[in-house]
Structure 1
Amino acid sequence: MKKLHRLLAAVFFSLTLPVAPVVAQSTSTTATEAVQEAPNYTAWQEVAEQTEDAIGSGAATNSALEKAREEIAAWRSRFLDAQSLNQTRIETLGGQIAALGAAPEEGATEPQEIADRRAALNSQLKQLQAPVLSAEEAYRRADGLIREIDTIIRDRQADELLQLGPSPINPTHWSTGITAISGTFSGVAQEVATSWNSEEGRANLREDLPAVLFYLAVALVLILRGRRWMEKNTIRYAESTSLRARGAFIFLISLGQIVLPYIGLVALLKALNSTGLLGERGTQLSALIPTVGLVILSARWLGGRIFPKANVQSRLFNLSRQRTAEARWNAAGLGVVVGMAGLLDRMSSFEDYAPAAQATLGFPILVIGAVLMFRLARLLMNHVQADAADGHEGLYRNRLIVLIARASMVTAVLGPVLAAIGYERAAGFFTYPSIATLALFGLLAVLQRLVADIYAMVTGDSESARDALIPVLIGFMLLLMALPVLALIWGARVADLTEIWTKFTEGFSIGETRISPSDFLTFVMIFVFGYMLTRLLQGALRSSVLPKTKIDTGGQNAIVSGTGYIGIFLAAIIAITSAGIDLSSLAIVAGALSVGIGFGLQNIVSNFVSGIILLIERPVSEGDWIEVGGVMGTVRDISVRSTRVETFDRTDVIVPNSDLISGMVTNWTRSNLTGRIIVPVGVAYGTDTKRVEKILRDIAEAHPLVIINPPPQVLFRGFGADSLDFEIRAILRDVTLGVPTQSEINHEIARRFAEEKIEIPFAQRDIWLRNPEALGGAVPSAE
């Protein structure tokens, strides 16, 4: 259990400190930085053969295999760089050969001069390709050796987890554990007594006594009082600070609850070392004091941030004050458990405890950790139940908490059972990584809240900061950054993570083109620059250049839109070319895409092409009054796929562009705003028709919007059922005002007809009953 505890303790320690990301060296090179010399394949052959012999023998230790793997990974990186050796020259020769045309078929000939030139170019090409092919072969061999080493190490780790050792519940092993731990502390005491009994040791102590007392005083003050000082200051400043900056301020002040006591622990270690009384064992044990103390302090701080005291900060969990305090102490207890497990692991390593002693001493620590984890998981379930009672049962966050809580409960039961049977490594593998995972999730929750508090402090919007887009995106990035740490917690090796990073930096191949992250980044940067330049050019055309020309509004919009399409297309082409992506390798994909367009995207493509036709031919422009498909209104916007028409009811209708191209469209204002209106009117029979005609003509000619040339017409349409029917047909200067103009003419007709005593009839009907006596018989009698 030594290596497992050491790894878990180191991982948990790393959770309390800023994690330095492991950045692998980039293996991609540009054409100007290409490798000029081939790798030393003789030296590589020796390394490869030695590694193959070590793998074949099966006697190499894991550390030896890891060292060999690191060396081979460096060779593999060189071989990958060597694959781009003389790449520019190879591409040039390929272009020269292609310029000579296709090689003659079997039995055919070509001019001797061309044949000689083709042979010379092919010879040069083969010479240049030979180092590339060698690099590819060596790369495959190195990659295969790395996979073999990884497989061997993983198999060994699995075997260690399934190894059955002594059972800690066997009473015969208890004395072994007690003897081992008592021997360690008695050895430390013996070393101290030996140093004290020597005159030189006492002399050194008297000489360094002032320094010892100073360090000891600092240690006692900071350890005993430092955390309480910072906690009181946190509460006091939180109550006096504005709500806008409270969260971030509390977080910064609360870090002192770790820093001050940790400085005290370092001072305590300095005091112990300054005495000169510690021997080898005492020095090794005392060196663990700051590390173990940092774990415990960090766990207690994290518990205080996740389960805060009342009125200090907002709560992450819906728990009562009593339950919150219980959860806070459980979190601190888990820190003590992990710290003691790490301390025992270090003691076992330099004291070389027997397996029975390790199992016996580690079992109580593991059981306590499992109990605390189970109780903490129950408190998480209580939070979910309280949220459900408040009507928040379906929250996605609570579903995740339920999953984590149940997994923790299962692990808390499984770990002690496996340890009691004798599977000590398997028990530690399930228990301690589960505790570290809970700590990691808690730290992510605290950091997410910190991001929201900082966002609220910057924007001044503390109410919606938690649900704002930017804090959510930053929280998602934090979760992605935590994935490597989570992998390390659950047994992944650093080499596994670097291997994933190496594969990522190598990129992927499309045909004969390899696309790496650097190529993708180049593509994005150039495309974004081209896109921004296109938008700036469109803005200049729209606001500065085109308004000074005589082009109408529709033409200006067409030019601006066309400039945008061309600019984005050119930006994409330039970005693809600059990134070194060969478009010819996408021919198959483009062919398959064209088939998909022909079947599934034909309507979208049709509307897109129609939109381009609308912008070029401009049968319809923005501001036109049109009628299409029974919809009448004003064109407000013409986009690539559709056109937005605003009706006279002030509602927007989205019309597909294909309907405007293939359907019948009435454009009332295409060439100009003039248009005709028709105003019908009827008069009573017996009225002088010529007089009516003159009155209606006067009314039409008097209206300011009616054009005199051609003059308005008054037509006697015919003899209606109830009236003599007339019509005024007039051309208006602005047909868009046709409806209000027609209303004004009707008002004037009513006024003039009233003055001239001209009757506007309405329908009248006479009803004749053929047999009224039948109706009288149908009426029931009063009786």
Structure 2
Amino acid sequence: MTVRTAAADHAGMRLSFRLLLLFALSLLAGLPVPAQAQDAASTAPAPDRVLDTLQSQLDQVKAALGNHPADTALSDLAAAALAVQNQADALIVTLKPRLDSLQARLDVLGPAPAAGSPPEAAEVAAQRRQLGREKASVDAQIKQAQLIGEEAQQLAAQVAALRRDRFQAQLTARTASPFSHAFWSDAARVLPNDLARFGHLLGLIRDDLATAWQPPHRWPFLGGLGVALALLLGGRRVIEQALFVLARRLPQGRLRRSSRALGVALAYVSVLGLAAESVYLGLNWHDTLDPDLAGFARSVVQVLLFAAYVAGLGRALLSARHPSWRLIGLSDAAAARLRPVPRLLAIVVLILGIIERINAQIGASLVATVMARGLLALTISVLIALTLRRLAQTRRVLLAAGEYPARRPLWVGLLMAAAAVAVALVWLGLATGFIAFASFLATQLVWVGVVLGTLYLLTHLAHDLIEALLTPTSRSGKRLQATFGLAPATLDQAATVLSALIRILLCVVALTLVLAPYGAGPDALLDRVGQLFNGLKLGELVIRPGALLDASVVLALGWLGVRALKQWLGTQLLPKTSLDPGLRSSIVTLSGYVGGVLVVALTLAALQVSLQSITWIASALSVGIGFGLQAIVQNFISGLILLAERPVKVGDWVSLTGVEGDIRRINVRATEIKLWDGSTMIVPNSQFITQNVRNVTWGQAQGRVLIRLPMPLDTDADVVARIMLETMRNHPKVLAAPTCSVSLDGIEGGSLIFVAVAFVANPRDAGGVKSDLLFAILAKLRAEKLPLLRPQDMIIHQSPGATVPAASPSQVPPAGG
């Protein structure tokens, strides 16, 4: 059944390709699409018919499951159940808008009139009844689709549980030990029958080859062989060289190295895969292969692709010939000793995989299957043991030569230890007869190694790509900085966060692949990835991958939109208005707050988060606000009041509790004040609301210049007053109104105190104007020879009876002196 399905799928794929080619040619030629295609696209099956089909498919899966299918058929049954569930979910998504539309139309009509009320029009009543019937029908279809989806999900879970039970039973099954006589006697007994089945398979292969060599099919067969031979001889080298040329066009850095490694890995897969596909298409060009052999050939191609990827991945990671391209921290000696290991492992995987496919194709006996699995486990385990031994020998040789190899990370040591333990368990299982368990461990060693190697390669490639795109010194980084006005530190942080997110996503996918059920198909793996998130709940909040992606896009676009709006308001629109700078800054800040709230609301809507889902978050926040966030909330509300009422604004000169300076910025929590020494003081917003604040520049305030000038008592007061008045009136920044004045304030300490008052337009000019006036007044006073201080007189008092000493001749001043 499986082989015929694969053949049918291949035929259907070829037919679909031809139809797609016809459609593309029709578009290019401007021809109309055939009517059959238009009818197929325009007409969709009715929901009732789709539901009947899904129920029929589900019944078929149930019937097949009740017949105790083989292990290979369980994978197809699980895939069929998951397909039914996906189709049921898609039908629900299609029907819900129709249900909402019918409900909206019923809401427009309103409820039926109550008893005793005037009757409504017959047309309205008939339309309400019709809409009600349609709504009930659509609602029933949605409920039936939900029931089918739930039943399909339960059926898929039942199949998965059955597979796990069978797999556990196989793992714990014990056969005769290969060291016992019973094991080989059973093999000798069933060997003739297995050889006969194998001979029958070879006969089918010879017949199909002879058919392919006939004249109608010879040229496609030879063409496929020629293409495969050309690819095998020089295709890998050509593809690698082409990829290397493309890598040279990338920015210099580690991105070239990781891209080359990926190119080497893909070169093996592409060459061998295309060669195998060419041979397969040449053999089956006119569907000449037997359906059973077609499925067998397709499975062999899949094994060949996996083996090619193993070889390519190992060669890309080791890079023995080009040490500068090597991603892993491995010495050149170790890489050279491990160079043949990937190819040997690929050959072993290919040969043993083909043997497994042959056993499955011919229905080999249990003994032959056990022998093949034992040979698989033994060969792989020995190869891995030799690899570990070569690594240890290389390390010892380097230490003996006085060279210290690079320190291995902890996870590398743990992986090597786990591999050694697994090899020992494989050998123990083979010796004691648990061959199925040993085979499972061996295949898991290869699978885990391939997954981890791919993860290592992809994480390095993603990190190098993001670093090359978002580095501030790169071309794209400079464009982002110029376009969005981003700082270099912001780009570095964004690159680090984005790289971490991608690595986490890759690790989740790798973990899902490693922990996937044995033999699970792609549909089951995708379903497990979806279940990792679909089952994640925070209270009543359900986290879904699609909603997370939509919310991330909305958040990023909203943030860019708010940033662009603030930049447009601050640099283009508001500067062209008559608003003062402080009001413009307040408008820009408030616009940012409003835009941020709208972006958060849209993000929550994209996450499909309702208010009921976040009630527990609001409750926790209310408790936190009540205890520890009072000050923060108070400052936030105070900041909104400052921006709305504007008692102070950006650019004002304020003074409060020993702090005096200019307001530079009003933030959500605090206000920045620039002091006279150039430093910045961060003041909580609540202080502007709860304390006395002096706003020097509030309401077009003028600056007052006050000068107190002491003069001697014998100074001519009128002259001094005239000089001070003339000096103030002649200064360009002194206002004519209010007029300046000079008054005699009093006498202090034997001096006349003159007080001069003048006014300037800006309080910030008062200090400079005062200095200018003092310099000018002092200069004019000196020009008028008016002393600022009176000379001090010395009075000597002589006590009674004291004699004055006679002066010496040298102290007597000369005559006329």
Q: Same fold by TM (over 0.5)?
A: yes
Counterpart Cα distance in 2 of 1:51 and 1:760: 120
| 8 Å CA contact 1:444, 1:478 repeated in 2 | yes
| 8 Å CA contact 2:212, 2:218 repeated in 1 | no
1:302 paired to 2:313: yes
1:19 is matched with none
Residues 177 and 695 from structure 1, CA distance in 2 versus in 1: closer, same or farther, beyond 3 angstroms? farther
2:583 is matched with 555
How far off is 1:322 after superposition? 0.7
Query: Which of 691, 711, 714 does residue 663 from structure 1 map onto?
Result: 691
How far off is 1:652 after superposition? 3.4
Deviations 1:515-540 (A, max 9, x none): 97667777777777777666665555
Counterpart Cα distance in 1 of 2:395 and 2:633: 50
2:740 is matched with 711
How far off is 1:618 after superposition? 0.8
Counterpart Cα distance in 1 of 2:733 and 2:250: 69
1:88 paired to 2:116: no
Counterpart Cα distance in 2 of 1:212 and 1:70: 34
Residues 127 and 713 from structure 1, CA distance in 2 versus in 1: closer, same or farther, beyond 3 angstroms? same
How far off is 1:621 after superposition? 1.1
1:421 is matched with 432
Deviations 1:63-122 (A, max 9, x none): 665555555555555665459666427855997999999xxxxxxxx98659999xx99x
Counterpart Cα distance in 1 of 2:52 and 2:291: 47
1:780 is matched with none
Counterpart Cα distance in 2 of 1:757 and 1:655: 49
1:25 is matched with none
| 8 Å CA contact 2:703, 2:761 repeated in 1 | yes
How far off is 1:610 after superposition? 1.8
Residues 681 and 417 from structure 1, CA distance in 2 versus in 1: closer, same or farther, beyond 3 angstroms? farther
2:662 is matched with 634
| 8 Å CA contact 1:700, 1:728 repeated in 2 | no
Give the alignment of 1:381-780 within 5 angstroms.
Answer: 398-451=409-462, 461=474, 468-469=495-496, 474-488=502-516, 492-500=520-528, 538-567=566-595, 569=597, 593-672=621-700, 674-676=702-704, 694=721, 697=724, 701=728, 704-707=732-735, 709-711=738-740, 731-741=759-769, 758=788
2:13 is matched with none
1:324 is matched with 335
How far off is 1:306 after superposition? 1.1
Residues 66 and 236 from structure 1, CA distance in 2 versus in 1: closer, same or farther, beyond 3 angstroms? closer
The residue type equivalent to 2:449 in the other structure is L
Give the alignment of 1:45-64 within 5 angstroms.
Answer: 59-62=68-71
Counterpart Cα distance in 2 of 1:508 and 1:97: 41
How far off is 1:619 after superposition? 1.0
| 8 Å CA contact 1:507, 1:514 repeated in 2 | yes
How far off is 1:321 after superposition? 1.1
Counterpart Cα distance in 2 of 1:299 and 1:635: 66
Counterpart Cα distance in 2 of 1:371 and 1:38: 59
**Alignment identity in percent?**
24
Deviations 1:503-556 (A, max 9, x none): 689899999999976677777777777776666655554445433433222223
Deviations 1:180-217 (A, max 9, x none): 89998999899989999x9x989979999999999889
The residue type equivalent to 2:359 in the other structure is S
Query: Which of 345, 369, 379 does residue 334 from structure 1 map onto?
Result: 345
| 8 Å CA contact 1:180, 1:353 repeated in 2 | no
Residues 46 and 160 from structure 1, CA distance in 2 versus in 1: closer, same or farther, beyond 3 angstroms? same
TM (norm. structure 1) is 0.68
How far off is 1:314 after superposition? 3.5
| 8 Å CA contact 1:636, 1:645 repeated in 2 | yes
Structure 1 segments unaligned to the other structure (5+ residues): 4-32, 102-109, 763-783
How far off is 1:163 after superposition? 1.7
The residue type equivalent to 2:415 in the other structure is I
1:161 paired to 2:171: yes
The residue type equivalent to 1:305 in the other structure is A
Counterpart Cα distance in 1 of 2:60 and 2:224: 53
Q: Secondary structure at the match of 1:627?
A: strand
| 8 Å CA contact 1:626, 1:635 repeated in 2 | yes
The residue type equivalent to 2:648 in the other structure is V
Q: Secondary structure at the match of 2:338?
A: helix
Deviations 1:443-500 (A, max 9, x none): 2333344456656777784999999546665555544554554444865554544544
Counterpart Cα distance in 1 of 2:291 and 2:142: 56
Q: Secondary structure at the match of 2:578?
A: coil
Greater length-normalized contact order (CA 8 Å, ≥ 6 residues apart): 1
Counterpart Cα distance in 2 of 1:47 and 1:286: 29
Counterpart Cα distance in 2 of 1:241 and 1:99: 68
Give the alignment of 1:81-480 within 5 angstroms.
Answer: 81=91, 87-88=99-100, 113=117, 140-170=150-180, 173=183, 223=232, 243=252, 246-247=256-257, 250=260, 254=264, 255-256=266-267, 259-260=270-271, 293-309=304-320, 311=322, 313-374=324-385, 398-451=409-462, 461=474, 468-469=495-496, 474-480=502-508
| 8 Å CA contact 1:718, 1:726 repeated in 2 | no
Counterpart Cα distance in 2 of 1:426 and 1:616: 73
Residues 551 and 316 from structure 1, CA distance in 2 versus in 1: closer, same or farther, beyond 3 angstroms? same
Q: Secondary structure at the match of 1:671?
A: coil
Counterpart Cα distance in 1 of 2:380 and 2:80: 40
Counterpart Cα distance in 1 of 2:790 and 2:380: 100
Deviations 1:325-347 (A, max 9, x none): 22333333332332233123123
Counterpart Cα distance in 2 of 1:142 and 1:269: 36
The residue type equivalent to 1:733 in the other structure is A
Counterpart Cα distance in 2 of 1:145 and 1:214: 47
Counterpart Cα distance in 2 of 1:584 and 1:542: 38
User: Which shows bigger deviation, 127-136 or 229-238?
Assistant: 229-238
| 8 Å CA contact 2:54, 2:88 repeated in 1 | no
Counterpart Cα distance in 1 of 2:103 and 2:79: 33
User: Which shows bigger deviation, 237-246 or 83-92?
Assistant: 237-246
Residues 224 and 513 from structure 1, CA distance in 2 versus in 1: closer, same or farther, beyond 3 angstroms? closer
How far off is 1:235 after superposition? 8.8
Counterpart Cα distance in 1 of 2:249 and 2:612: 67
Residues 744 and 442 from structure 1, CA distance in 2 versus in 1: closer, same or farther, beyond 3 angstroms? farther
User: Which shows bigger deviation, 163-172 or 617-626?
Assistant: 163-172
| 8 Å CA contact 1:706, 1:712 repeated in 2 | no
Counterpart Cα distance in 2 of 1:714 and 1:183: 132
| 8 Å CA contact 1:623, 1:636 repeated in 2 | yes
How far off is 1:60 after superposition? 5.0
Counterpart Cα distance in 2 of 1:222 and 1:485: 31
| 8 Å CA contact 1:300, 1:335 repeated in 2 | yes
Deviations 1:674-704 (A, max 9, x none): 3345667778x98859599759946972655
Q: Secondary structure at the match of 1:626?
A: strand
User: Which shows bigger deviation, 592-601 or 205-214?
Assistant: 205-214
1:779 is matched with none
Deviations 1:243-285 (A, max 9, x none): 56854774586454554566666788899999xxx99999999
User: Which shows bigger deviation, 372-381 or 347-356?
Assistant: 372-381
Q: Secondary structure at the match of 1:333?
A: helix
| 8 Å CA contact 2:220, 2:283 repeated in 1 | no
